[in-house]
Every structure is written in C-alpha cells, then in structure tokens.
Amino acid sequence: MTEQYRRYARNCLNLSKIYRAPSHSALLVEMAEAWDRLARQAETGADGEQFAQTADYRPMSRSEMQ
C-alpha cells in the first residue's frame, strides 16, 4: 500500500510539471504531499492525530518524490 501511495504522489508531481496554470500545479503538489502523508502513516501505522504530532515528520521535497 505504501508504494502505491508514493506512486500516486510521484504521478501528481509529474502532472504538476505539465500544467501551465499555477493554480493547477499547486493543487497537484498539495495532492502529492497528501499522498506522501498517507504513505508515512501507512508505514508507521499511526492514526491521523498521532501522525500530525510526530516531531520528526516533514513532507517530502519534490526531488525526493521523483
């Protein structure tokens, strides 16, 4: 499941590079970040609240998702 979420994140980032409208690109980047959060939750088995409070959490950068 985690790899599938990461693949979705990469797909969103790839699509964000195609769209010329900044609002569309930004939305796709946000979606990629959401998929990355889900992947991290799946890895740790944390629920949403616990995950949001994890001190060492940081969203993946665009280069990490590629």
For residue 26, the one-letter residue type is: A
22: pLDDT strictly greater than 60: yes
The reported pTM is: 0.66
Mean pLDDT of the residues in the chain = 81
Rg (CA), the chain: 12
What's the domain count of the chain? 1
Contact by Cβ (8 Å): 66, 25: no
Residue 13 burial (CB count, 10 A): 23
Domain that holds residue 33: 2-65
Residue 45 burial (CB count, 10 A): 8
Where does the pLDDT of residue 39 fall: very low under 50, low under 70, confident under 90, or very high at 90 and above? Answer: very high
Residues of the chain with pLDDT > 70: what percent?
68
